[in-house]
């Protein structure tokens, strides 16, 4: 797996993590490490580009959930209670983490696991960056 990290400027600076290859138990660790490194350097808005990920396992889901938790702020809108209520109503989407262009198989994994309920999925880079 290869991970390219870049910056895009929208209303806020967005760190783009472009993944090439399978997102599985063997490769989830490097993604977690790259994201943590970006976070420690000040990144607070991340876009994970899944356009070149042919397969995602449960380890890939775990790392996305870890990124979601890492990026959550202390604001009342992102409290555990607010997130729970928003998910129940279908109104909560993470303002800090979004996904870009997963293929049909990866989209199905995300949907089956319910990640599309709290992570916004975009299909165009400029649109995705502008949505932060």
Q: Which CATH number fits domain 2-130: 3.30.497.10, 3.40.1010.20, 3.30.750.24, 1.25.40.90?
A: 3.30.750.24
Distance (Å) of CA 116 to CA 4, 18, 35, 98, 104: 23, 19, 20, 10, 13
Neighbouring CB atoms inside 10 A of 88's CB total 10
For 59, the enclosing helix (H) or strand (E) is helix 58-71
pLDDT of the chain, 132 residues: tens digit per residue: 999 999 999 999 999 999 999 999 999 999 999 999 999 999 999 999 999 999 999 999 999 999 999 999 989 989 999 999 998 998 999 999 999 999 999 999 999 999 999 999 999 999 999 999
Q: In whole angstroms, what is the distance from residue 65 CA to residue 62 CA?
A: 5
pTM here?
0.94
Write out the DSSP string of 102-121: --HHHHHHHHHHTGGGTSEE
Q: What is the DSSP letter of 95?
A: S
């Amino acid at each position: 797996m290869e991970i390219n990290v870049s910056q895009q400027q929208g209303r806020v600076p967005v760190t783009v993590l472009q993944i090439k290859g399978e997102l599985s138990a063997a490769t989830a660790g490097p993604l977690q490490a790259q994201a943590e490194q970006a976070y420690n350097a000040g990144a607070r808005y991340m876009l994970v580009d899944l356009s070149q990920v042919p397969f995602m396992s449960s380890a890939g889901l775990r790392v996305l959930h870890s990124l979601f938790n890492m990026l959550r702020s202390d604001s009342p809108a992102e409290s555990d209670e607010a997130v729970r209520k928003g998910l129940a109503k279908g109104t909560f989407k993470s303002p800090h983490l979004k996904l870009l262009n997963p293929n049909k198989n990866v989209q199905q994994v995300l949907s089956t696991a319910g990640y599309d309920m709290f992570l916004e999925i975009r299909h165009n880079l400029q649109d995705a960056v502008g949505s932060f």
